[in-house]
Amino acid sequence: MQLLAIDNFINNEHVPPIHDSYFDTFEPARGAPHAKIPNSSKDDVERAYEAAAAAFPGWSKTSRAERASILYRIADLIDARREEFAQAESKDQGKPVELARIVDIPRAASNFRFFAGKILHSLEEAGDLPGVGFSYTQRMPIGVAGLISPWNLPLYLLTWKIAPCIACGNTAVCKPSEFTSLTAYLLCSVLKEAGLPAGVVNMVFGTGMGAGQAIVEHPGIPLISFTGGTVTGSKISVTSAPLFKKLSLELGGKNANIVFADCDLNLAVSTSLKSSFSNQGEICLCGSRIFVERPLYESFLKGLIEGAKALKIGDPTKKDTNMGALVSKEHWDKVVGYIELGVQEGGKIEYGGRKPSSLEGDFKNGYFLEPTIISGLTPACRTMREEIFGPVVTIYAFDTEDEAVRLANDSEYGLSCSVWTENGRRARRVAGAIQAGTVWVNTWMARDLRMPFGGMKKSGVGREGGEHSLEFYSELKTICLAD
């Protein structure tokens, strides 16, 4: 089978990598190569930077209305090609097509629409200094931004960066994950068709150690937005510190899901199934540590197991498929290794832990894994403390509200948390005490693009969303006019 060949997108043109180096990327559901990706180098990043730097003066001076108009066109074109994008996202990442169709691709379009509107209705500050003068603030684009996106929600999280970046008047050098480059490649044609000037957005494909590191260490790129692992985020911080780069790091999570006995049990179970196993558990916001108040523990566990058994795993193209394949063989091995570790640490596999036996044809070679529920571990175990990033959850009983809060906060991460209770006062107390950037009460993954998003502790640095994105992708200066 002929593999799809992808090239870099620089100055609105597809160009091969300078050193003509490529590598294969695999289709997770079949475990076979399906595309060839540029193994871009520092030289390719430099070429992309030069295009972005040349485009910056003109793009930064365009009116907000003109920039918004282009962003709206980008959103419309993504919508028009939703099915093409959804099929590509599934084939590249392993997720069900239906999930990409109803979540990933519409949210990517929404990112452009939101920030198009946001820049048209953003206010600056002004104040009078009696007898002195009049002061006001003005937001200025920063320059060339380095945007590095992950493999779990490829198009959604890439556009979450590109949309506010160019809305604020910046240009960009982007590096999608080497595991999931296909929808980024398709996005390039959308950007060009929408009328985005050459050089405003450039796409360099390749590895983190190659193209990604070159972006981070480039002295002409003053801003880095990165979504990915905490270890990589730490390396980016070290590299960027001497260059005084502006950083937004959305990193790992080991999120708590706290279930009190007075909750709506059916809703808590059904939503917890989603927060545990959606996108094969490959979402940084998944609730992987489930803490259940003891009187409800057995009932909740029974419901969770029954729900996990009912999830359909397999062919991602089928509409009724709930779980697709993990993104790569290496990641599958890592997740299975954590399941084995959980057993070694004294845990009991209540359900799952294996490759499904029902797989047929080419799918037998895919990176599929059953939803896995592990009980019997102590909070000190590695399986309960380290990010697994797969369809694996641990479940643990607690007795008091204070204990639940302590268990949830006993983590080096602080990205999100879900709380399940019908007691309004308790909901406010617990939500206020949780050390996480986002706390959901009786829901999960409700995203308001106007609200700040980011993590505490090792889950990240900075906030994006709404005004916070405009703050990150611009520099704010004060101008004072004398009386």
Structure confidence by residue, pLDDT tens digits, 433-457: 999 999 999 999 998 888 989 999 9
Are 445 and 471 part of one and the same domain? no
pLDDT in tens, 180-211: 999 999 999 999 999 999 999 999 999 999 99
Residues 340 and 436 in one domain: yes
pLDDT given for residue 95 in this prediction: 97
Element (H, E) at 310: helix 294-310
Domain of 378, CATH number, reads: 3.40.309.10
Total domains in the fold of the chain? 2
483 burial (CB, 10 Å; 0-12 / 13-18 / 19+) is exposed
The CATH number assigned to the domain holding 236 equals 3.40.605.10
Average pLDDT, the chain: 96
Q: Is 369 left (phi over 0), alpha (psi -120 to 50) or beta?
A: beta
Same domain, 373 and 440: yes
Q: Based on the fold, state whether residues 409 and 425 are members of the same structural domain.
A: yes
Using DSSP's 3-state secondary structure scheme, residue 300 falls into: helix
The verdict on 68 and 159 lying in the same domain is yes
Question: What are the C-alpha distances in Å from 360 to residues 29, 33, 195, 356?
Answer: 11, 19, 45, 10
Provide the pLDDT for residue 129. 84
pLDDT by 10s per residue, the chain, length 483 = 678 899 999 999 999 999 999 999 999 999 999 999 999 999 999 999 999 999 999 999 999 999 999 999 999 999 999 999 999 999 999 999 999 999 999 999 999 999 999 999 877 888 888 888 889 889 999 999 999 999 999 999 999 999 999 999 999 999 999 999 999 999 999 999 999 999 999 999 999 999 999 999 999 999 999 999 999 999 999 999 999 999 999 999 999 999 999 999 999 999 999 999 999 999 999 999 999 999 999 999 999 999 999 999 999 999 999 999 999 999 999 999 999 999 999 999 999 999 999 898 999 999 999 999 999 999 999 999 999 999 999 999 999 999 999 999 999 999 999 999 999 999 999 999 999 999 999 999 998 888 989 999 999 999 988 899 999 999 999 999 998
Question: Mind telling me the catalytic residues?
Answer: 250
Tell me what pLDDT residue 395 has. 98
Judging by DSSP bridges, how do beta strands 32-38 and 287-293 pair with one another? unpaired
Task: Write the DSSP assignment of 24-87 as a string of letters.
Answer: EEEETTTTEEEEEEE---HHHHHHHHHHHHHHHHHHHTS-HHHHHHHHHHHHHHHHHTHHHHHH
122: closest CA among 160, 167, 161, 172?
167
Question: For position 1, what pLDDT does the model report?
Answer: 62
Q: Are residues 412 and 282 in the same domain?
A: yes
269, 180: one domain = no
**231 in the same domain as 265:** no
Tokens of 96: 């069900």
What is the per-residue burial (b if ≥16 Cβ within 10 Å, else e) of 115-150?
bbebbeeeeeeeeeeeeeeeeeeebebbbbbbbbbb
Are 270 and 189 in the same domain?
no
**Cβ proximity of 251 and 229 under 8 Å:** yes
Q: Which stretches of 331-389 are assigned E, i.e. beta strand?
A: 348-351, 372-375
137: DSSP letter:
E
The H-or-E segment that residue 259 falls in is strand 255-259
- Residues 300, 166 share a domain: no
Q: Are 198 and 168 in contact, with CB atoms under 8 Å apart?
A: no
Determine the structural domain holding residue 403 and report its residue range. 255-456
Kindly state whether residues 448 and 470 are assigned to the same domain.
no
| Greatest C-alpha distance within the chain | 81
Please indicate, yes or no, whether residues 202 and 304 belong to a single structural domain of this protein: no
